[in-house]
Chains A and B, each alone.
Chain A
Amino acid sequence: MTQQIWLIARRSVVRTFRQPGTWIPPLTFPLMLMAVNSNGLRAATHLPGFPTNSFLAFFLPFSFLQGALFASGIAGVDLARDIDTGFLNRLALTPVRGSALLIGQIGGAVGLGALQACVYLGVGLAFGVHIDTGIAGAFLILLLAVLIATGWGTLGLWLALRTGSSEGVQSQFPLLFFATFISSMNLPRNLIEVTWFRDIATINPVSYMIEGLRSLVITGWDAQALLLGFGFTFALIAVSLTLAGRQLKVRMART
């Protein structure tokens, strides 16, 4: 089983990184958004109660989340292509286990998520972001970012297995993207004045993933924020894996 996961994951990573056109834009777009927002929205740091005087430090965690979302799109589209070309059938004719196939298939998304996390963290540090929790916190940021990429990546797999086409996967992503924007990405929830927006941001799990990462950058060791961040991330992984596992049985109906 471990060997099978490794084989599928290695192929997923190799094919992802052999397509620069698919991983360079997802790597750079969050950086561009970070550059624009950290300058354009810098004035927000003057709001009473804003938790830091560096908007870059505040916004940095959203880049991890956005990068993870892009990575999940790649995972979904790659699997949809495998379904479309019959490659999934080729794998189904080998002794590979369905669970190994699923876990291995998100290898590309996880690999890209890890690369993105390192780059974003490096860029943040280079532009003066101070990680309040130190080196241990930085490693925890990378871990949480990779877990978030795993969760979103698995959701991408579910969409691929459900729709069976890359167009189907791509058409769903604006919805997920929208969900990330109605969150505490630009402002802390307690400073969002529009009630409906604040309410949605409060029930949106994405807010807690961002806040978990953010706490490590600007707050220090905040057990509640970390618990919620990791908790919602593990919940996303569990739900996505369950959905994807069920859909795989439908899609790969081998006897």
Chain B
Amino acid sequence: MSRSDQGIEAIGLRRQFKDIEAVAGIDLRVLPGEIYGFLGPNGAGKSTTVHMLTTLLPPSGGRATVAGFDVAKQGPKVRASIGAALQEAALDPFLTGAEHLRLQASLHGIRGDERKRLIAQLLDRVGLANAGNRKVRTYSGGMKRRLDLALALIHDPSILFLDEPTTGLDPQSRTALWDEVGRLAREEGVTVFLTTQYLEEADVLADRVGIIDHGRIVAEGTPAQLKAQIGKPTVEVVPESPDELDRLRGLLRRFGAETAARPGAFAVQLDGHGALPEVVRALDTENLRAAQINLHEPSLDDVFLAKTGRTLEGAEDEE
């Protein structure tokens, strides 16, 4: 399977809607075969960025290339190289899954036996082989998303744009879709640009993550790099005796700043992973018996909080 050796590159990409600057100068680079997670709350500029990169929306400024083609000047070539499953599965409820694939394949110039073979293969791959002749209005949300993915893949694109592909899906469907996207990148070398508002999705799936807020990228790197750069692990201790909570508080404050904890427990953000054995040793030395010691790894939400001053969930409420 031939794949483009070019990924996605944007320099100062901007999009203005009257007085609103939806995307305010984005620089990013996605390497071929990489899964790039584009994380941010609703209204942050994720979908606008995707619309520009997929040529559906002309940029107001800056430039971007996808598969080596300029999105503003070489739209048809970009479109031939990409597949896209945009926000909410855009399907016709009165057509069957197979009819959708037939229409999409035919519009891409795929005909005859090759089209038949591809349709059967894709329906099978996304687990819709038995539902291909059913009208889409009878599909569940997960089935629609899987059909959407199959439609995006019909012309064998080298780059795949997935705009919030798992929004509204149950955990099982979400995991199935993650598996398929991961497989596409790993086994077939497809470059994936994935927007999401789910931290877990970006964490599990993405090789690298860009965090966008108010139209700007506020952080970029591998999930591990971002967490190491910003987030700190949290240790939460539940004393064996509730009477020891004050003594525990005094002890743990030596290792970091206080953070939210469950009732009856006390937690601090550690300065580094190495501090945990010291915490355990200190508890032992002070003869303070613990019922539970929990170490929480930093999350991308911690990164978002550090970069924007709010949690991702809080940011959603603001939009």
Name A residues whose Cβ lies closer than 8 Å to a Cβ of B: 3-4, 7, 11, 14-15, 18-19, 82, 85-87, 89-96, 253-255
Given A95-B109, A96-B107; A255-B55 close (CB under 8 Å): yes
Query: Which A residues touch B73, using CB under 8 A?
Result: 255
Summed over the interface, the residue pairs from A and B with CB atoms below 8 Å come to a total of 70
Report which of A15, A85, A91, A255 forms a contact with B107, defined as CB distance below 8 A: A91
Structural contact, A94 and B107, CB atoms closer than 8 A: yes
Enumerate chain B residues within 8 angstroms of A86, measured Cβ to Cβ: 86-88, 90
Q: Does B99 contact A (CB under 8 A)?
A: yes
- Interface assignment of B175: CB less than 8 Å from any CB of chain A: no
Chain A nearest Cβ from B201, distance in angstroms: 21
Interchain CB contact (< 8 A) of B151 among A15, A82, A90: A90
| Interface residue? B244 (CB, 8 A) | no
- Tell whether A93 pairs with B56 under 8 Å between CB atoms, given A85-B88, A255-B73: yes
Residue of A nearest to B85 (CB): A90
- B56: contacting residue among A15, A87, A92, CB under 8 A: A92
How far, in whole Å, are A211 and B87 apart by their CA atoms in the complex?
Answer: 49
Task: Give min CB distance, A95 to chain B, whole Å.
Answer: 7
Chain B residue contacts of A90, Cβ below 8 A? 86, 90, 104, 151
Q: Check B108–A253 contact: CB distance below 8 A.
A: no
Determine how close the nearest CB of chain B comes to the CB of A178; give it in whole angstroms.
31
> For the complex, would chain B's binding face be called helix, strand, loop or mixed by DSSP majority?
loop
Instruction: Assess the B79–A253 pair: CB atoms within 8 A.
Output: no
Least CB distance from A50 to B in Å reads 46
Give bound CA distance, A15 to B95, whole Å: 7
User: Given the complex, which residues of B lie within 8 Å of A19, measured CB to CB?
Assistant: 94
B71 at the binding interface (Cβ < 8 Å): yes
Q: Count residues on chain B whose CB falls below 8 Å from chain A CBs.
A: 33
Q: Which 10 A-B pairs have the closest CB atoms?
A: A86-B90, A255-B75, A94-B107, A15-B94, A18-B94, A255-B55, A90-B90, A87-B90, A254-B55, A7-B106
In the complex, chain B residues whose CB is within 8 Å of the CB of A11:
92, 95, 99, 103
Which residue of B71, B90, B99 contacts A255 across the interface (Cβ within 8 Å)?
B71
- Specify which chain B residues have a CB less than 8 angstroms from the CB of A93 in the assembled complex: 54-56, 79, 82, 84
**Is B58 in the interface zone, CB < 8 Å from A?**
yes
Across-interface contacts of A254 in B (CB, < 8 A): 55-56, 75, 79
- In the assembled complex, the Cα of A18 lies from the Cα of B80 at a distance in Å of 32
- Check B88–A94 contact: CB distance below 8 A: no
A82 to B103, CA, bound (A): 15
Known A-B contacts A7-B107, A11-B92, A15-B94; A253 and B57 likewise in contact (beta carbons under 8 Å): yes
Task: Tell yes or no: B76 within 8 A of A by CB.
Answer: yes
21 contacts between A and B (CB under 8 A): A11-B95, A11-B99, A15-B94, A15-B95, A18-B135, A82-B92, A87-B90, A87-B91, A87-B92, A90-B90, A90-B104, A91-B107, A93-B55, A93-B84, A94-B104, A94-B107, A95-B80, A253-B57, A255-B74, A255-B75, A255-B78
A contact residues around B109 at 8 Å (CB)? 95
